[in-house]
Amino acid sequence: MSDAIRAQMIQILPRLRAFARSLAHAPDQADDLVQQTCEKALRNLHGFTPGTRLDSWMFRIMRNLWIDTQRARRATVPLADDPGDDEPGAILTGEDGRVTMLARLQLAEVRRAIAQLPEDQRNVLLLVCIEGMRYREVAEALEIPMGTVMSRLGRARAILARAIEGEPQAQHMPEKRK
Amino acid sequence: MTKDVSDEMLMALADGELSPEIRAQLLARIADDPALARRYERFTLTRLAVQEAYPVEPLPEALIRTILETPASPETPTKREENVIPFRPRPASRMALAASLLLAVSVGGFLTGRATGPEPQQVATGAVVAAQALAALPTGASVPLGDATARVLGSFGTDLGLCRLVAIEGAMEERAILCHNGTEWDLAFAAVTGAMDGFRPASDISVDAIDHALDAIGAGAAMTETEEAAALRLVR
């Protein structure tokens, strides 16, 4: 069964990457997480129940890896400091020449807003908007009701829309308002 | 006129969820109705904004190689996994499961009869004490516990109720899952390893075992900070 699973894993790589981006914001860090997840999944293939969703199983492995390594590692760092500290620079690079619809400043606001979303909203937002997964697929993969997918997505969208329209965020950031 | 088109409909349209007929009807109405168009634009714009904020990088070849080349586990458990006592996949009752969940995983010889390992009872007591000490604290918080430090790695809604994954790090490294039974914290699972003696770090080994344990008790995703705070208030 392992060859079939490997093929399936390659097929779902894009959504594994999108899910990883919703956990680790920097692209290279996210790909490292995908890589570790694939290794762990293959080494523990007997733990996978054939006929169940491979993406659900691997999302679970990925999230646990992330929780167990990242959160434990920075336990002495205050939690409030963590979202997106190193992220704007990391993602801005390599983007020159892209035709962007949004001004750079707006894009920075969008990134900040996404980084500050609750993790469960960010999971759904990235799987739907980056990876183009159907609501039903996201619901099955994350093992949550479809209504929950839609409500998380709607809340995330509302926050993003405010960021794009330049309304002040709920958490004000004095250093940004110079 | 626009009131009867819900935000959910507009979002579903922007995300390509609607059938071609409904899609065409809605788009026609949007074309005729500037207020509706502005509401719709919020959803198309945010979708594009996410795509621009998270540009998809080319698929790294290393990822494909990892998938093709990492040796897969045999379909029967390997020697190492025999250290992990498997959960029964479909327990007759959840109460029976809860009773059977108290187990310790030994790694590198601990708990398998060597005098150097802690007794399972000590592991259990330490973890329960840790869970009580951490009961009011969010994921990421830690408390000193004798010579060790106990830290919450995550909280989960499960078939057994609220459960928390706790790391206890000192001379030994331990990962424990503790579930609140309505009055107090019960140890559901523990994995122990030596941290200082050249054994693998617990984080490397016990993640797999913890996955199995979480699966067995029907755990969903780790709770967000808000969900966790609400769940903790309920058991306090």
Nearest to A68 among B63, B153, B220 (CB): B153
- Bridge partners, residue B176, by sequence: B166, B190
Q: What is the ipTM of this complex?
A: 0.77
The mean-pLDDT minimum among A168-177, B108-117, B150-159, B180-189 falls in B108-117
Question: Which has more confidence, A47 or B191?
Answer: A47
Does residue A80 carry a pLDDT above 50? no
Q: B163 in helix, strand or coil?
A: strand
- Using a CB–CB cutoff of 8 Å, tell me whether A144 touches chain B: yes
Does this model's pTM top 0.80? no
Alpha helices in B103-185 (DSSP H): 120-134
Q: Which residues are registered as beta bridge partners of B192?
A: B106, B174
Is B91's pLDDT higher than 60? no
Sign, Cα dihedral of A134, A137, A139, A145: positive
pLDDT of residue B43: 95
pLDDT at B34: 96
Work out the average pLDDT over A63-71: 82
Task: Flag whether pLDDT at B116 surpasses 60.
Answer: no
Look at residue B85 in the predicted model and tell me its pLDDT: 40
Q: What is the pLDDT of residue A152?
A: 97
Would you say residue B114 has pLDDT above 50?
no
CB contact under 8 A, A2 and B72: yes
The dihedral sign for the CA sequence A5, A9, A10, A11: positive
Angstrom distance (rounded) from CA B203 to CA B221: 19
Looking at residue A154, its pLDDT comes to: 97
**B224 reaches A (C-beta below 8 A):** yes
Tell me what pLDDT residue B61 has: 87
Structure tokens at B152: 């919450």
Higher pLDDT, B132 or B27: B27
- Contact check, Cβ <8 Å, A10/B55: no
- Which residues, at least 6 apart from A83, have a Cβ–Cβ distance to it below 8 Å? A25, A115, A116
State how far the Cα of A7 lies from the Cα of A54, in Å rounded to an integer. 11
**Between B104 and A156, whose confidence is greater?**
A156
pLDDT in tens, A86-141: 444 333 433 444 445 567 777 888 989 999 999 999 999 999 999 999 999 999 99
CA dist., res. B177 & res. B185, Å (int): 10
What is the 8-class DSSP label of residue A68?
I
Pairing assessment for the beta strands B185-194 and B148-158 based on DSSP bridges:
unpaired
**How far apart (Å, rounded) are the C-alpha atoms in residues B152 and B150?**
7
- In angstroms, the CA A35 to CA B63 distance is 6
**Structural element, H or E, at residue B191:** strand B185-194
- Model confidence pLDDT, tens digit, residues B123-172: 667 787 788 888 888 888 888 777 788 888 889 888 888 999 888 887 76
Could you say which of B7, B8, B140 has the minimum Cβ distance to residue A71? Answer: B140
pLDDT of residue A148: 96
Cα of A118 to nearest chain B Cα, Å = 7
Q: Could you give phi then psi for residue A132, rounded to 5 degrees?
A: 65, 30
Q: Which residue of B has its CA nearest to A90?
A: B54
A150 interfacial to chain B (CB closer than 8 Å): yes
Which of A73-77, B100-104, B210-214 is predicted most confidently? B210-214
Structure confidence at residue B195 (pLDDT): 43
- Residue-wise pLDDT for A28-53, tens only, equals 889 999 999 999 999 999 899 988 99
Give the residue-averaged pLDDT of B42-46: 94
Contacts of A106 in chain B (CB under 8 A): 49
Nearest by CB to A35, from B42, B62, B68: name it: B62
Q: Distance (Å, rounded) from C-alpha B123 to C-alpha B128?
A: 9
Q: CB distance from A143 to chain B under 8 Å?
A: yes
Average pLDDT for chain A? 80
DSSP alpha helix (H) spans, chain B: 7-14, 20-32, 34-53, 61-69, 94-100, 120-134, 202-216, 225-235
Quick one: how many helices (H) and strands (E) in chain A?
A: 10, 0
Largest Cα–Cα separation, chain B: 80
What pLDDT, on the 0 to 100 scale, is given for residue B95? 37
- Give the pLDDT confidence of B54-71 residue by residue, as tens digits: 888 888 888 989 999 898
Cα–Cα distance measured from residue A33 to residue A63, given in angstroms and rounded to the nearest whole number: 9
Give A67's DSSP letter.
Answer: I
Of these ranges, A70-84, B104-118, B187-201, the one predicted with the greatest mean pLDDT is B187-201
Q: Please tell me the predicted confidence (pLDDT) of residue A100.
A: 54
For residue B222, the model assigns a pLDDT of: 85
Residues in chain B: 236
Verify whether the Cβ–Cβ distance B153 to A118 is below 8 Å: no
Q: Percent of chain A, pLDDT > 90?
A: 54
B130/B66 Cα distance (integer angstroms): 38
